[in-house]
A and B are shown apart, each in its own frame.
Chain A
């Protein structure tokens, strides 16, 4: 195999020499070192991969987590490394542009230096540049592309469909796409995508009645004379994590046996390179790579892990590379294979941060985005409040953005406590930024936005928290759903992630008093997965709260006390909730 680490370090050296250090004047001025994105081609078979952009067409801020715990055998290994632990593992220089892209460290200061990330007009420039050096390279979209912004919700995903066609996506697999409903998904797959030649693949989605494939399980392509197969793996727990009634006739699941069958089928049909485009989440991908044989690489998403280099997993017949390409349009993965004599000789992988200041906007894509946004500009730009606090979401237990949501829900609904789902999407705001309607929609834009107020006993509240914690911390990745812990407003608690379901949550208190198992509490929430839920959309509730407050400051982040993981876990740093 190739010396990827050495090449990666070389890239960093080039970046540093080009004036990309933190205090760089050229970076401050937004001047691109011309060679930052020069990635020499390696071999003859290349893929580009982006995932979980969550419909962010414009450049955004996005802070990576300081809490991303790995449980059991995942402890201390990628992707469960945060901050300096991640930099050390991958040899990234602290204070560099990459350090800013891959970690939360000094986020607000570094964000001002390096500017925003992502944006489809900038991504388009990078995709075209990479593609120009790699004739025939395929662009793979790992899903969670149609959901996450105001404009995607308001256009019924059409803005993202049009942008992906213009970007030059070749192949896609879904997750949140399904929350637009089965009918809308099929309309796009058989309409816009078919016309544009985009393949929508998912081996693990079958009909509920007869188990027939709903989508093509895989596609075969030829690149520079080499046959390559790309197998799709949709998010396995779509009908559980999201409303089942939106895809009533489809069954998902992990389906290792189906995956093995299609890998073997692709090999039998002459594929020399077999790729899985996956929305499993990285822990599930790592386990699958050890069980299914014959896959060269799994390009993964869902868990939003920006992992600089692939993890190599050995299985009964060889090695499978597992990648995860972050979220919010922040990264583009570039995988090159040198295929000779019917097999892969070596590979080269880069997960390139998309710094919008360093990549000029593609004029055609820019025009498309401007046109899409035009009818909504007034609504999007409504200034609801200003934040003095740093607002972010990502992290296993809570983020300041979620704290703001649960505070608003409790106050507006008159609730004792509030739950907000542990979503991993949602952009970041720097202190002093305006909270516009667009930024609020970044946190809330879903097709089941109803707010609820429910009377629950203390016992029920605990059982819900235990259930969600098990989805996050089960030692077997196949029982994990890939979201973060439900955000809890009003109730303080202690968690031991290493215990089993029913025994992780303890010391629950509300206003200093123990939560009583038999007492009934009023609990506010949003995003109910059951059909027929009624309630004001969450963005209206929170917008009213923000207009009233005008300035957000002094948010008190309710983070649990964590026990049982020790003080030196590599998946947690700068944690204020208490740790032992």
Chain B
């Protein structure tokens, strides 16, 4: 229990990492690299990250579904799927709000691509996982809480 606790706390100090599992062709790596958004990815809080993404006051949307565990089995690799059924979705960003650097990844969709991404993110502590979707020049958002716990002591 105690060793794990330390690992969890150590994780909290680390930055969010990105492990991308997007079907080939949906994302152009060179383009993504070229579009590296330093101010957004290095932002230390959600507000600054949003600012870096050029997003202000996104509207809550029920057309965004976030599939993630209620309690993470392993904070180092938390599976997250985001589906946006908003017409004309052009990008999806994922933020783990309480990570030291909340912005985990941004994904640009080529025209007509289904608004779906699946990835694994690192989370230091219990937090909202937020998706921010751009579509038709507007931004939308939804969030789901994922709990990161020390474990043990159950049952």
Q: What is A's interface to B at a CB cutoff of 8 Å?
A: 144, 175-176, 235, 237, 239-242, 244, 251-254, 257, 302, 419, 421-425, 452, 454, 456, 460, 463-464, 467-468, 470-471, 476, 478-479, 481-483, 486, 501, 523, 525, 527-530, 533
Name 20 A/B residue pairs within 8 A (Cβ), A-sorted.
Answer: A144-B155, A176-B155, A237-B71, A240-B149, A240-B154, A242-B154, A252-B73, A254-B70, A302-B155, A419-B1, A421-B153, A452-B1, A468-B153, A471-B149, A471-B153, A479-B145, A481-B153, A483-B155, A501-B126, A530-B7
Residue from the set A463, A476, A478, A529 with the largest chain B CB neighbour count within 10 Å? A529
B73 contacts A529, CB within 8 Å?
A: no
Residues of A near B69 (CB, < 8 A) are: 253
Residues of A near B150 (CB, < 8 A) are: 464, 467-468
CB distance from B79 to the nearest CB of A (A): 8
CA separation between A244 and B71, bound complex, in Å?
14
Residues of A near B79 (CB, < 8 A) are: 251
Q: Known: A454-B2, A525-B1, A530-B4. Is A421-B74 also a contact (CB below 8 A)?
A: no
- Is B3 located at the chain interface by the 8 A CB criterion? yes
- Is B138 located at the chain interface by the 8 A CB criterion? no
CA separation between A244 and B74, bound complex, in Å?
8
CB distance from B108 to the nearest CB of A (A): 26
B70 contacts A479, CB within 8 Å?
A: yes
A527 contacts B155, CB within 8 Å?
A: no
Number of chain B interface residues as a range: 20 to 34
CA separation between A240 and B74, bound complex, in Å?
8
Name the residue of chain A whose CB is nearest to the CB of B68: A253
Residues of A near B71 (CB, < 8 A) are: 237, 240, 479, 481
Prevailing SS type, chain B contact patch: loop
Residues of B near A463 (CB, < 8 A) are: 5
- Is B151 located at the chain interface by the 8 A CB criterion? yes
B1 contacts A481, CB within 8 Å?
A: no
B155 contacts A235, CB within 8 Å?
A: yes
Across the interface, A241 reaches (CB within 8 A) one of B67, B145, B151, namely B151
A423 contacts B155, CB within 8 Å?
A: yes
Name the residue of chain B whose CB is nearest to the CB of A529: B152
A530 contacts B149, CB within 8 Å?
A: no
Across the interface, A482 reaches (CB within 8 A) one of B7, B73, B152, B154, namely B154
A529 contacts B151, CB within 8 Å?
A: yes
Residues of A near B151 (CB, < 8 A) are: 240-241, 244, 529
Instruction: Name B45-103 residues within 8 Å CB distance of A.
Output: 67, 69-74, 79
B74 contacts A239, CB within 8 Å?
A: yes
- Is B44 located at the chain interface by the 8 A CB criterion? no
Residues of B near A235 (CB, < 8 A) are: 155
B1 contacts A241, CB within 8 Å?
A: no
CA separation between A471 and B7, bound complex, in Å?
19
B5 contacts A528, CB within 8 Å?
A: no
Name the residue of chain B whose CB is nearest to the CB of A254: B70
Q: Known: A244-B74, A253-B73. Is A528-B2 also a contact (CB below 8 A)?
A: yes
CB distance from A334 to the nearest CB of B (A): 25
A421 contacts B3, CB within 8 Å?
A: no
Residues of B near A251 (CB, < 8 A) are: 73, 79
Q: Known: A528-B1, A530-B3. Is A239-B154 also a contact (CB below 8 A)?
A: no
Q: Add 11 more A-B contacts to A253-B69, A456-B2 (CB < 8 A).
A: A241-B154, A241-B155, A244-B74, A421-B152, A468-B150, A470-B147, A479-B70, A481-B71, A483-B155, A486-B153, A529-B4
Across the interface, A527 reaches (CB within 8 A) one of B1, B7, B74, B147, namely B1
CA separation between A251 and B69, bound complex, in Å?
10
Residues of A near B152 (CB, < 8 A) are: 241-242, 421, 527-529
B1 contacts A530, CB within 8 Å?
A: yes
CA separation between A423 and B79, bound complex, in Å?
29
Residue from the set B5, B71, B126, B154 with the largest chain A CB neighbour count within 10 Å? B154
Across the interface, B154 reaches (CB within 8 A) one of A237, A253, A528, namely A237
Across the interface, A525 reaches (CB within 8 A) one of B2, B74, B149, namely B2
CA separation between A533 and B3, bound complex, in Å?
8
CA separation between A244 and B152, bound complex, in Å?
10
B154 contacts A481, CB within 8 Å?
A: yes
Nearest 3 CB-CB pairs, A to B?
A241-B154, A530-B3, A483-B154
A253 contacts B70, CB within 8 Å?
A: yes
Residues of B near A528 (CB, < 8 A) are: 1-4, 152
Residues of B near A478 (CB, < 8 A) are: 70
CA separation between A488 and B119, bound complex, in Å?
39
Residues of B near A486 (CB, < 8 A) are: 153
A482 contacts B155, CB within 8 Å?
A: yes
Mask, B1-42, CB within 8 Å of A = 1, is 111110100000000000000000000000000000000000
A424 contacts B149, CB within 8 Å?
A: no
CB distance from B150 to the nearest CB of A (A): 5
Residues of A near B4 (CB, < 8 A) are: 528-530
Name the residue of chain B whose CB is nearest to the CB of A532: B3
Mask, B115-155, CB within 8 Å of A = 1, is 00000000000100000000000000000010101111111
Residues of A near B3 (CB, < 8 A) are: 528, 530, 533
Name the residue of chain B whose CB is nearest to the CB of A422: B153
A241 contacts B2, CB within 8 Å?
A: no
Residues of A near B147 (CB, < 8 A) are: 470, 479
CA separation between A421 and B1, bound complex, in Å?
10
B73 contacts A239, CB within 8 Å?
A: yes
CA separation between A423 and B152, bound complex, in Å?
10
CB distance from B88 to the nearest CB of A (A): 26
B155 contacts A460, CB within 8 Å?
A: no
CB distance from A1 to the nearest CB of B (A): 33
CA separation between A180 and B126, bound complex, in Å?
29
B154 contacts A460, CB within 8 Å?
A: no
Q: Known: A240-B73, A244-B74, A254-B70. Is A483-B153 also a contact (CB below 8 A)?
A: yes
Residues of B near A501 (CB, < 8 A) are: 126
CA separation between A419 and B153, bound complex, in Å?
10
CB distance from A5 to the nearest CB of B (A): 31
Name the residue of chain B whose CB is nearest to the CB of A474: B147
A464 contacts B1, CB within 8 Å?
A: yes
CA separation between A175 and B154, bound complex, in Å?
11
CA separation between A523 and B74, bound complex, in Å?
25
CB distance from B66 to the nearest CB of A (A): 13
CA separation between A185 and B35, bound complex, in Å?
48
